[in-house]
Amino acid sequence: MRTRFAPSPTGRLHIGNIRTALLCWLYARKAGGEFLLRLDDTDSERSREEYVEAIREDLQWLGLNPDREVRQSARVLHYDAAVEKLKNAGRLYACYETETELETKRKMQLALGKPPIYDRESLRLTDKQKAQFAAEARKPHWRFRLEDGAIVWHDEIQGARHFEARNLSDPILVRENGEYTYMLPSAVDDMELGITHVLRGEDHISNTAIQIQLFEALGGAIPAFAHNALIKTKEGKLSKRKGSSTIADLRTQGIEPMALCSFLAKVGSADAIEVRHSLKELVAEFSIAKFGKSQTMYDVEDIARLNEKLVHDLPFEAVQARLPEGMDAPFWETVRGNIVSVSEAAEWWAICHSDHREESHAAVDPSASLQDDNFLAQSAMILPPEPWDSATWNIWMDAVKNTTDRKGKELFMPIRCALTGRDHGPEMKVLLPYIGRARAIRRLNA
C-alpha cells in the first residue's frame, strides 16, 4: 500500500488538512505500506517556500513523517508528456472562449433550467476559425474530452459511486498561460508514483470520476478511493473567540500533538473519541471501515478537553525539556492535575518563585473580597518557622483558625489569593514550601 498527502503550499495547514494527512498515514502504517508527501506547487503565483517549510514542520510535530517527498514543480516534463499523449489520442482539445464568454454561457443554461455543462463548441471550430483566433493572439485552454458512459467505482467509505459522463463538463487541464490545473498532475503522479490508495475529502468525489477516465486514457492503474465525510464545527467555522484552526496556532495555544491526533483519528468514526498516548495505539485501532458517510459536527473545545486529560497523564520525563529550569518531578506532579497545557506549569512555577508581586499575581476573583488586611497580617505573624514540608499548611491553618475563629472558605481563600493571586489551583500544602517563608510574609503584608 502507498498513500499520499497532497497539500498546496499556499497557506498554513488547518484541521481539515491534517485530518486527511493523519488518516492517510494511519492507512499506510496499518498495512505496513508507505506514506508520501506530495507538494502540489504548480501554482507559481500563490505557492510559497515558507509554506513548504511550515507543512514539513506541522507534519514533523505530529509525528507524521513521510517516507518520501515529491514536488510537482519538479515533474513538469512528466505532465508535458501526458498532454502530448492525450492530444495524440484525440482526448485533449483546444478551447478559445474567454472566462467572460464561459460565464455568459453558464448563466444562459441556468436560466433555461439546464445544468451548466460545457457545450463542446470548440470541437466544432473550423481551421479558418482557429487561424483567426491565432491571428488575434488568443491563446487556448485545453479540455479533456470525457467519453460517454457510466463511471463507477466502489468507494471504501462512501460505497458504490456512479456518475454519467454526459452530466459532467469536460475539465480544463491546461490554462491559457500553460499552467496545469489540479486534475492532470494529480492523476499522472498517482500513476507514476505507484499510489495504491487515495484517501481525501468527499468534496473531491466528482474529481475522482473525471480522474478515472484520465487514468484509463493514459493507460495507468486506477487506485482504490476512499472519500471521508467532512467535519465542521458547530459554528460552521472556528471563531476568533475559540481560536484558529491552523495547526501552528493550535500548537501555540498549548495543544499536544497526541491530543490532536487522538481527536482527528476518531472523529467521524464508530470509535469513541478518547485520549491515546502514542501513534502506535492509533495505528492498531485504525480501520477505514469504521468511518461513516455523514458529516460530523464538533466543538473545538472537544480538542481542549482531550488535551487537558492528556496533560494530566504526562510523566515528568515526557515534559522535562519544556519546563522551567529547576522544576522537579514533585512540582510537576503537583500542578499537572490543575492545568490544561504544559506551558501553564511555568506560570505556577513563577507564582511560587517570583519576588515581585505584580509578576506572581494574576487577576483575583471577586471572592477575594473576603480578604482582610488585619487577618492576613495576623496570619503572617503565626507562620511556622522553616524548614517546611507538606504538613506545614495544615499546621498553619489550624493555628490561624484558633487565633482568628475563621473557618472554611473565609479562612483559607484570602490566604490562597494573597499568596498565589489565584482562587483555584494545586493544593496549597504542596505549593507553600516552594513559595517559602520570607516570600509568603511579604505577600501577606502587601
- What DSSP designation does 364 have? P
Q: What are phi and psi of 233, to 5 degrees?
A: -75, 160
The average pLDDT across 405-433 equals: 91
Candidates 359, 446, 431, 347; CA nearest to 396 is 431
323 is written with which cell numbers? 519546563
Helices (H), 320-424: 329-335, 343-353, 357-360, 373-381, 392-404, 409-420
Cβ partners under 8 Å of residue 108, min gap 6: none
Q: Convert the pLDDT of each residue in 288-334 to its tens digit.
A: 999 999 888 888 888 999 999 999 999 999 999 999 999 999 999 98
Domain of residue 358, CATH code? 1.10.10.350
**Which tens digit of pLDDT belongs to each residue from 130-158?**
999 989 889 999 999 999 999 999 999 99
Domains contained in the chain, number: 1
Question: What would the mean pLDDT of 70-95 be, rounded to a whole number?
Answer: 97
- Reduced DSSP (H G I as helix, E B as strand, rest coil) percent helix, strand, coil of the chain, to 5: 50, 15, 35
Location of C-alpha cell 479558418? 128
Strand partners, 396: none
Q: Which three cell numbers stand for residue 41?
A: 506547487
Structure confidence by residue, pLDDT tens digits, 182-191: 999 999 999 9
Does residue 365 sit within a domain? yes
In a domain, 223, yes or no: no
Which cell goes with 234?
Answer: 458547530
Tell me how far apart the alpha carbons of residues 303 and 164 are, in angstroms, rounded to a whole number.
41
Residue 107 lies in a domain: no
Q: What kind and span of H or E run contains 200?
A: strand 197-201
Strand order, beta sheet including 172-174: 92-95, 141-144, 172-174
Contact present, 417 and 364 (Cβ < 8 Å): yes
Residue 126 lies in a domain: no
Of the candidates 209, 108, 119, which has an alpha carbon nearest to the alpha carbon of residue 155?
209
| CA–CA separation, 266 and 287 (whole Å) | 10
CA distance 62 to 423: 35
Asked whether residue 230 is assigned to any structural domain, the reply reads no
Please indicate whether residue 361 or residue 18 has the higher confidence score (pLDDT). 18
Q: Across residues 370-377, what is the average pLDDT?
A: 76
8 A C-beta contact, residue 282 and residue 26: yes
How many Å apart are CA 375 and CA 378, to the nearest integer? Answer: 5
| β partners of residue 71 | 39
**Domain membership flag for residue 249:** no
Residue 192's Cβ-count burial label (10 Å; 0-12, 13-18, 19+) is: middle
pLDDT score recorded for residue 300? 81
pLDDT tens for residues 253-267? Answer: 899 999 999 999 999
- Which of 436, 319, 343 has its CA nearest to residue 389? 436
Q: For residue 420, what are the contacts with CB-CB under 8 A and spacing of at least 6?
A: 351, 360, 361, 428, 431
- pLDDT tens-digit profile of 208-229? 999 999 999 999 999 999 999 9
| Full residue range of the structural domain in which residue 403 is found | 320-445
